[in-house]
Amino acid sequence: MNDINIFSIIFFVIGVLFDLFGCIGLIRLPDVYNRLQSATKSVTLGTCSILFGLFLHYGFTAAGLKALIAIPLLFFASTVAAHALIRGSYTFGIKLWKGTVKDDYKDVKK
Amino acid sequence: MRYITLFLIMFILWMLFTFNGELPNIVIGITVSLITTLIFGRSFVKDTKKFFQPKRYFWIIVYLIIFVWECIKANIDVAYRVLSPKMPIKPAIVKAKTTLKTDIAKTFLANSITMTPGTITVDIIDDEFFIHWIYLSKEKPEEYTHIILGRFEKFLKRIFE
């Protein structure tokens, strides 16, 4: 770990920052739908960035390739999970935030 | 035919994941891939010929570059909304019509939407996407349909259809 690549450090820092933004959003935003926005987007990109930094550090070895393959898996898992959660909470009847300006989905659900 | 394609994809993925060329590992890989293929083969893509057309892979690479760029832009946008003291959000659930036909293309479009500018796919009913948007910037349906779907639709059409 002595001669760690400067590029992988950059990717680590970006990743950790985006993870942090995602967590701040999770606390600050008003309702479950908006919180899911920040939880999926920022955290997925942050974690992908950390994994890409790992790949740059290890190169084409066993560990590096595993980090690289984990990116699409994480990507699909988090998007599908976000979709399932947001649809589930709507079906369950959780109210949208009072500042919500439009709801086209309401008509279909009835 | 589609069972064979799925088996090959699963096996290659297993070999990359374990990164180990010994015989016991290969045997385990074949067994696991076979089980997966038998369970999920029914719901795999019908038209497997598309896997062997090199032109599609070129468009996948183009799509990936654009997608990563959009993804980074989206994240900076969301980070700005989260961090700024006033929190400029204006959430809405909007309806958008797509022109894509196949199921797999729609799946990819929905996943791409979930990852980009403040939008999450809530539901897909036939060719209508219901999208939760963190900041509704345009009022007319045509305009926001173009903003949300337009960027990816043309590439996904070339990749999957």
Q: What is the pLDDT of residue A104?
A: 67
Q: What is the pLDDT of residue A29?
A: 77
Mean pLDDT of chain A: 80
All residues of chain B having their beta carbon less than 8 Å from the beta carbon of residue A65 are 16, 19
Query: pLDDT tens across A4-53, in order?
Result: 678 888 888 988 988 888 888 888 877 787 788 777 778 888 888 888 88
Tell me if residue B44 falls in helix, strand or coil. Answer: coil
Cβ within 8 Å, pair B78-A38? yes
Q: What's the whole-number mean pLDDT along residues B50-63?
A: 78
Question: How many independent structural domains does chain A possess?
Answer: 1
Cβ within 8 Å, pair A99-B89? yes
Rg (CA), chain B: 20
The verdict on residue A1 lying in a domain is: no
Angle between helices B103-115 and B151-160 (to 10 degrees): 150
The verdict on residue A49 lying in a domain is: yes
Q: How many beta-carbon contacts under 8 Å exist across A and B? A: 115
CB B153 within 8 A of CB B109: yes
Given a cut of 70, whether residue B22 has pLDDT beyond it is yes
All residues of chain A having their beta carbon less than 8 Å from the beta carbon of residue B13 are 69
Given a cut of 60, whether residue A2 has pLDDT beyond it is no
Which of the four pLDDT bands, split at 50, 70 and 90, describes residue A108? low
Cβ within 8 Å, pair B122-A21? no
Given a cut of 70, whether residue B90 has pLDDT beyond it is yes
- Residue A22: closest CA among chain B residues belongs to which residue? B79
Cβ contacts of B149-153, under 8 Å, gap ≥ 24: B149/B96, B149/B98, B149/B109, B149/B113, B151/B66, B151/B70, B152/B63, B152/B66, B152/B67, B152/B109, B152/B112, B152/B113, B153/B98, B153/B99, B153/B100, B153/B109
Beta bridge partners, B129, equal: B96, B124
Structural domain containing residue A79 = 6-109
Q: What is the pLDDT of residue B130?
A: 80
Mean pLDDT of chain B: 78
